[in-house]
Chain A
Amino acid sequence: MYYPSQKKPSRRLYTFPGGLHLPENKAQSTTTATVKAALPRKLILPIQQHIGAPAQVLVKVGERVLKGAMIANPQGRISASVHAPSSGIVSEISEHPVAHPSGLPALCIVIETDGEDEWGELPPAIDDFRLCEPGLLLERIRTSGIVGLGGASFPTNIKLEPKKERRIDTLVINAAECEPFITCDDMLMRDRPQEILEGITIMKHLVGAASCLIGIEDNKPEAIAAMTKVISEQEVDNIELVVIPTLYPSGGERQLIRVLTGKEVPSGKLPASIGIVCNNVGTAAAVADAVLRGRPLISRYITVTGEGVANPRNLEALIGTSGSELIEQAGGYTGEAARLIMGGPMMGFTLHTDKVPIVKASNCLLAASTREAPDPGLATACIRCGKCAEVCPVSLLPQQMYWYARAKDLEKTQEYNLFDCIECGCCSHVCPAHIPLVQYFRFAKNECWDQEREKKSAELARMRHEAKLARLARLEAEKIARAQKKKAALARSASTNKGSDAAGDPKKAAIEAALKRAAEKKARLAEEGVKPQNTDNLTDAQRRQVQQADARRKALGDGDTRQASEQQDR
């Protein structure tokens, strides 16, 4: 086992529950050096490659774009821009198959490259970022289209924004790369440790963190050596490379933070709530490119591996390159390819075709053989062995959640903390009954979200209804108050007039006589069972209106009284 010679990890490391030692399968893709993938004839760029609102298209079909030009700009706070990875003509803006678990197509900008690879005008480099306004740096990161390259693709500028609620004291850099087969971060660290360190320094400056911990699994000796070298060569303060034991999923954000700092990110909260921001090494390199060189995010390292390809390797590919071209440059299929996976074996999803573009989040294209990813066969009944709970890195009870997810008892699944599940796949991997547990949990989460949406709209309707009732009650109360006020005023005026003889006042006698008549009439009508109506003395036009209203009310039916009452109100 290799440890960097000068600095042995002096830091105390912590553990998280569960976890798995998996066959690493990383060696096969690290034997050849990473090269730039050949410029493809066509680049397909989905306008949504990130979490948040889709970007808005800025170009028209037929327009020539230069390399690095923004072709879609971010919409709203959480969004990311898209840039042209090479120069060429926009040939279409339409729906196209993309790498998404749903298999649904998405809106893409297609660029026919012209082979010139001509750079457009780039924003100026910000050499001394320490003197630069933080807002400008964040804007640069935002307009460079940088998102988390570790897989979640959350817009990086949002993560690096100063936090109102809490000061950030630690920047955690995720270099763990814990999933089997994936080596793109490993290769990036070997090739560009300098840029990564620059990016880390910028991010550390932006969030104002006192210290930075780079967590890397001990199965990447070359990357550890390269990173150690640049860190020791440069004058950097409080940036520490921490070698951690290889244990899946130590690269999960919350797991890595736990291993490095011993802190647990509270359930349902962000790391920022405990003063930590976590970013991937690839993201750090992209930030350095954007700030120090003005270059937007237009390419990334991607691992093309598995027994299904002839020469497993890493490629630096332009975003939008088709998976088929990358497979081609990794020697093509061997005939053993049985499954094509976007991402790693534990959390990646299968593609039914390789004709999909790689996006910012694509870290691995795995063409697995049946040996590497055999068909698990039919799932059988859960025997409640609890192996899933033993390996769960969040200490969940997957066997219970599965039981309730199957019964669609969503409340119970949430009681068993469904939403703390990070979908790492450990439970499914060890299940002796081969139950696709994670799939059940994804399903239950989606059902919960659906239900939440429905509940929200129902809640809105209820609030609207209650507001209406309150308004009507208020109007009624005001009416009564007005009447009482009037009555009181009348009584006051009557008492002031008390001096004069009531009987002698002809006006008052007439009013009293009229009141008496009205009371008598009311009593008579009440005896006959007729209620007084304000519709008795109406003009013909008014009567017609009333009849029409009655007809409408009838047509609505008696069942929906609420609607009927609303109709009445109108």
Chain B
Amino acid sequence: MQFATITSPHTDRPNSVTVTMLWVIIALLPGAVAMAWYFGWGVIIHMLLASAAAVAAEAFVLKLRARPVMPAISDLSAVVTALLLAVALPPLLPWWLTVLGIVFAIVVAKQLYGGIGYNPFNPAMIGYVLLLVSYPVEMTTWLPPIMLNQNPLDFTQTLSAIFVGTLPPGLDWDALSAATPLDEMRNQLNQNRMISEIRQSPLWGDFGGLGWEWVGNWYLLGGAILLYKRIISWHIPVSMLGAVLVMAMLFHFLDQESHPFGLFHIFSGGTLLGAFFIATDPVTAATTKKGQLIYGACIGLITYVIRRWGGYPDAVAFAVLLMNMAAPMIDYYTQPRVFGQRDAGDD
């Protein structure tokens, strides 16, 4: 009898890239559904649109690169990128911007570097930043959450707004749109208003923007799923959220009227999404445990610094991309002490 010769180990492998990606998608769903609940059909339309465009773009480039298409498509990594970008986009963003962002993310940020595993930068964040710096107006035209929205659009109205750019009669963009809580807080503070004053407005919930903070809670649940399934380790989310919280609390206690409470920063903008889903992207993050703590903390730090003193209301995307650049160096200097070696580094 003849047997195949295969290298060890000879076991049923417990993990696969596809399953890992599938869990990321599953964990993202609670937050995504909450987004759709508060901000309408647009969220779901962009998720589907971006996914389709991502898969098409990936298949196309793989064909050009003469690489097998199916194994790469079926690992679901393109879909994850698409969904992460989609949930960060304004719900009524014109369709072609979504397509532009995701195609740039997949083609330039991912495939031109060699595809999955080789991209130095988080593709979803590259796509997001491209759109944000090129189309700042469109990218900051948000909707108010459902409880504050006087004119919620139905499914067909949303479709026509996204694909044709027409709103129902009697509505214009100014009447429909609203700033994000981070944007609102920043604008008000820039007008030298005090936090106690600003928070009089019905826009606010317990910590952050009304509605927004609940989306944050659902992302937190998603993060718990990822941690429980050991898709991610606690190091990056904890250090990133910790850094944001420490910075925000520090300045809050120094000057309570011009720096919102720490949890405002946690529950606003992309903080929770970024901490559990973006910064933890294994390909572009630091891989040593100590390195992950540094990496996460720096993302939190940069996020707060740009939010507070920089030119953008939110900064998770910038912070992640900046730290992506530093990840290889962080890894190099944070190698764990090898068993049986005393001199090399430390624990």
Contact = CB atoms under 8 A, between A and B. Distances in A.
Contacts of A417: 338, 341, 344
B10 A373 contact: yes
A420 B4 contact: no
- Chain A interface: which size bin? 35 or more
B340 A420 contact: yes
B19 A254 contact: no
Interface in A483-497: none
A282 interface: no
A439 B7 contact: yes
B329 interface: no
A389 interface: yes
A328 B117 CA distance: 47
Nearest to B12: A374
Interface string B74-87: 01010000000000
Contacts of B283: 383-384
B66 interface: no
B14 interface: yes
Nearest to A373: B10
A254 B10 contact: no
A425 interface: yes
Interface string B256-293: 00000000000000000000000000110101100000
B9 interface: yes
B338 A395 contact: yes
Contacts of B285: 384
Classify the interface of chain A: helix, strand, loop or mixed.
loop
A334 to B, nearest CB: 12
B173 interface: no
Given A339-B4, A353-B3, A386-B287, A346 B11 contact: yes
Interface string B57-79: 00000000000000110010100
Contacts of A430: 13-15
Contacts of B116: 380-381, 383
A396 B338 contact: yes
B193 interface: no
A399 B10 contact: no
A384 B11 CA distance: 21
Given A266-B340, A333-B1, A384-B287, A349 B15 contact: no
Interface string A413-453: 00011001000010011111110101100000000000000
A374 B16 CA distance: 13
Contact of A384 (B6, B7, B117): B117
For A393, A397, A428, which residue has the most chain B Cβ atoms within 10 angstroms? A397
Interface stretch (A145-153, A182-190, A364-372, A531-539): A364-372
B9 A265 contact: no
A395 B2 CA distance: 38
Given A338-B4, A389-B287, A394-B339, A373 B331 contact: no
Given A417-B344, A430-B15, A432-B17, A395 B336 contact: yes
A89 interface: no
Given A380-B71, A382-B117, A434-B13, A397 B288 contact: yes
A167 interface: no
B6 A375 contact: yes
Contact of A264 (B5, B282, B339): B339
Interface string B30-44: 000000000000000
Nearest to B331: A400
- Chain B interface: which size bin? 35 or more
Given A352-B4, A383-B283, A384-B282, A428 B339 contact: no
A447 to B, nearest CB: 16
A349 B5 CA distance: 8
B287 A431 contact: no
A172 to B, nearest CB: 16
A395 B11 CA distance: 22
Contacts of A375: 6
A420 B338 contact: yes
A156 interface: no
B8 A432 contact: no
A338 B1 CA distance: 10
A216 to B, nearest CB: 22
Contact of A395 (B77, B115, B339): B339
A103 interface: yes
A16 B339 CA distance: 8
B217 interface: no
Contacts of B114: 381
A17 B11 CA distance: 21
For B15, B287, B339, which residue has the most chain A Cβ atoms within 10 angstroms? B339
B340 A267 contact: yes
B13 A338 contact: no
A267 B338 contact: yes
A70 to B, nearest CB: 34
Contacts of B115: 381
A239 B342 CA distance: 30
Nearest to A440: B7
Contacts of A345: 8-11
Contacts of A397: 287-288, 331, 335-336
B118 interface: yes
A332 to B, nearest CB: 10
A433 B117 CA distance: 10
A432 B285 CA distance: 17
Given A384-B287, A417-B344, A378 B71 contact: yes
Nearest to B340: A267
A205 B195 CA distance: 80
Contacts of B1: 333, 337, 340, 353-354
A383 B8 contact: no
Contacts of A103: 5
A49 interface: no
A180 B12 CA distance: 12
Which 4 pairs between the two chains have the least Cβ-Cβ distance?
A: A381-B117, A425-B9, A432-B15, A373-B10
Interface of A: 16-17, 22, 103, 180, 254, 258, 264-267, 333, 337-341, 345-354, 366, 368, 371-376, 378, 380-387, 389-390, 393-397, 399-400, 416-417, 420, 425, 428-434, 436, 438-439
15 contacts: A267-B340, A341-B10, A346-B10, A350-B5, A350-B10, A351-B5, A352-B3, A373-B10, A380-B17, A385-B282, A394-B340, A429-B9, A429-B14, A430-B14, A432-B20
Interface of B: 1-17, 19-20, 71-72, 75, 77, 114-118, 233, 282-283, 285, 287-288, 331, 335-342, 344
Given A266-B340, A333-B1, A397-B335, 9 more contacts: A264-B340, A380-B71, A383-B77, A385-B282, A389-B288, A397-B336, A417-B338, A420-B338, A432-B17
